[in-house]
Chains A and B, each alone.
Chain A
Amino acid sequence: MALLSVDELSVTFGGVHGRKESTAVDGVSFDVDQGQVVGLVGESGCGKSVTSLALMGLLPGKGVKLGGRADFDGNNLLTMSQRELREMRGKEIAMIFQDPLSSLNPVVPIGVQVTEILQRHRGLKGEPARKEAAHLLDRVGIPDPTRRLKEYPHQLSGGMRQRALIAMAVACAPRLLIADEPTTALDVTIQAQILELLKELVDEEGTALLMITHDLGVVAGLCDQVNVLYAGKVVESADRHELFAHPMHPYAHGLLESIPRLDAPRGEPLKPIRGSINDRIAWADGCAFAPRCDYYTIECLTGTPALTVPAAAGHQVRCVNPVREPVEIATLETPDVTATAHGGTSA
């Protein structure tokens, strides 16, 4: 059984004080195994962060309805008490946030912020805690850790701050790491270093990593399994190679095609997906992506399309007209994938 097994997770906001209900996450299922990196991909507002907060039990108690299950090591996270969840957080499951500067307390030295976690979950205090904190900073590649421990967040560079946050997240060797767009606030060279560090941690410690991102480059470089989210539902789920070779949902297909390519003929226009996530219809009425879809037919409006396995085993697609033509993705650093992309007609 997978370490984390999310089954039909749904999160609905509102419904109190006469406010309209809105479903941010709508029956999402996926698994994360030990040592595996699973991607949750989709554009802004599709419910990625809400999914991660629901798993951590960090959504507000009032005005939020949760549905489905999320079994971590056999225990349903959604029905755990706040007390049990608190015990898990930071120790078994830890999270890395998008903006490292605002995720650190501005007036507390880095060292205090790291040692506090060591004290909370590992009972380390004083000198041993300080030593371990320095060791952790060193582990995540912060040079001169003893000095950095005494500094405040604003004295560190953006990359170092994210490293410090990662150090805090891995301080108690959690079994699952959830990273919510951990590189979005960083510049490109730093992004690559942070991804490298995460990869290293996963490889060395066997940590499971749930990687939330809207950046397919991150997916290409890091994820084993990818779930593409649209308007609160998984629309495509496949392993990385399969997804990059044969994106079958028009949305995933469009995402891959919209990546600028270095080998494209000069002057060829980029192909962004038209419209925005606001142009959508309710899943109950049909496919939420229909207003933006080039493959749309009338069948798309007869209720929610089911998740099917139209081609390779384990490659699930929520679409009545799955796309069969492959995309060329020469710029992404997955050489084996490009090879299959050219010749692949297994679909």
Chain B
Amino acid sequence: MTAPLETTSASAEAQPEAVLAGAGASQIEGRSLGQIAWTRFKRDKAAVAGGIVVIGLVLMAALAKPIQAVFDLDPNKFHQDLVDPALQAPKGAWGGMSWEHPLGVDPGFGRDLLARVIEGSWVSLLVAVGATLVSVTIGVILGVIAGYYGGWVDSVVSRLMDTFLAFPLLLFAISLSASVQDGFWGLTGLPLRIAVLIFVIGFFAWPYIGRIVRAQTMSLREREFVEASRSLGARGPFIIFRELMPNLVAPILVYATLLIPTNILFEAALSFLGVGIAPPQASWGGMLTDAADRYEADLQYMFVPGLAIFITVLAFNLLGDGLRDALDPRSK
């Protein structure tokens, strides 16, 4: 109940989260902005469905190991007995679907596909969310600085954004991922691949959010409440963190939600091209590569990672669009 006031003593950097928490936690008479947004959001059935799927996916990714342990799903266990030695295809109809292996097994090794989809989910989400955080952090900091200070600062940041956007990202990602040696940054194996992917994807996508934040900041800066705040003795950093940031939380949140699916696709594409997550670690993009290699033996295999990616991307997009509509003060 005292949440909004406690933000006073919180550090300036904590403000965006604090305001969100405050908006959600303060159960006051009348309706806070958060409550209004929530009411609007609830009316949007597609967004709610997207949100539920996203929550399910996040839970699945976070609890991947315990789920695999409890249901005895080992993503890397071979079941050669389930694979036809001559055709290399899973025995039985529908890619070897059975009660034991609900999504079937993969051709060649007979690994359980449900286990591999679950295993791939945490890799996918970790890379996508990590890269999104990197983009959002860089984009917000530089976007706000450019938008607030303007002048030559803005020119420098804007040219930097142009440069990054003009970069042949895919080629760079392929060559960097391929050339990073084991033992880089003190990391090896899977953690290194994940770190490289987060860096590459995140570091080159920041100008998109940077531009949005810059434009928003420029228009917010001219708003009367900023002048009013100045007339009461506020300094630049105070205005940025306590006046502008709370107004930027909504667009940043929406954009981040919409960036995650883009990054999931990008990670899948890199893994598909063989420069993302390396086998034997299961990843959705890697599974697609496998499936493409063996489509003659087992066409159905392709649909499992394909649908996983499709559903995830769709869910995040529905959620992001719903958030945008709900948080937009102009929509009814």
Contact = CB atoms under 8 A, between A and B. Distances in A.
Interface of A: 56, 58, 86-91, 94-95, 97, 99, 102-109, 111-112, 115-117, 119-121, 125-126, 129-130, 147, 149-152, 154-155, 165, 168-169
Contact of B230 (A89, A112, A168): A89
The 4 A-B residue pairs whose C-beta atoms are closest, nearest first, are A90-B232, A90-B233, A89-B233, A109-B4
Interface string B228-267: 1111111100100011001101000000000000000000
B224 A112 contact: no
A107 B247 contact: yes
Contacts of B28: 147, 150-151
A155 B31 contact: yes
Nearest to B226: A105
Interface string B265-286: 0000000000000000000000
Contacts of B26: 109, 150
A58 B1 CA distance: 36
Contact of B225 (A87, A105, A126, A147): A105
Contacts of A168: 232
A112 B230 CA distance: 16
18 contacts: A56-B231, A86-B234, A89-B230, A102-B225, A103-B225, A105-B225, A105-B247, A106-B33, A108-B242, A109-B22, A116-B8, A125-B9, A126-B8, A150-B26, A151-B30, A151-B32, A168-B232, A169-B232
Interface residues on B, range: 35 or more
Contacts of A165: 228
A75 B224 CA distance: 27
Given A105-B225, A107-B246, A152 B235 contact: no
B30 A103 contact: no
* A interface: dominant SS: helix
Given A107-B19, A126-B9, A151-B30, A121 B4 contact: no
Interface of B: 1, 4-5, 7-9, 19, 22-23, 26, 28-33, 223-225, 227-235, 238, 242-243, 246-247, 249, 329
A108 B227 contact: no
A30 B246 CA distance: 40
Contacts of B246: 105, 107-108
Contacts of B247: 105-107
Given A105-B247, A111-B4, A112-B4, A94 B225 contact: no
* B interface: dominant SS: helix
Nearest to A103: B228
Given A120-B238, A147-B28, 20 more contacts: A58-B227, A86-B234, A87-B233, A90-B231, A90-B232, A90-B233, A102-B225, A105-B225, A105-B243, A106-B329, A107-B19, A109-B4, A121-B233, A126-B9, A129-B8, A150-B1, A150-B28, A151-B32, A155-B32, A168-B232
A115 B19 contact: no
Contacts of B230: 58, 89
Contact of B30 (A94, A99, A155): A155
A86 B234 CA distance: 7
A104 B231 CA distance: 12
Contacts of A112: 4-5, 7-8
Contacts of A111: 4-5
Among A102, A112, A120, which residue has the most Cβ atoms of chain B within 10 A? A112
A150 B4 contact: yes
Nearest to B1: A150
Contact of A97 (B5, B228, B242): B228
A10 to B, nearest CB: 21
Given A107-B246, A151-B28, A102 B224 contact: yes
A16 B262 CA distance: 45
B231 A94 contact: yes
B33 A119 contact: no
B235 A125 contact: no
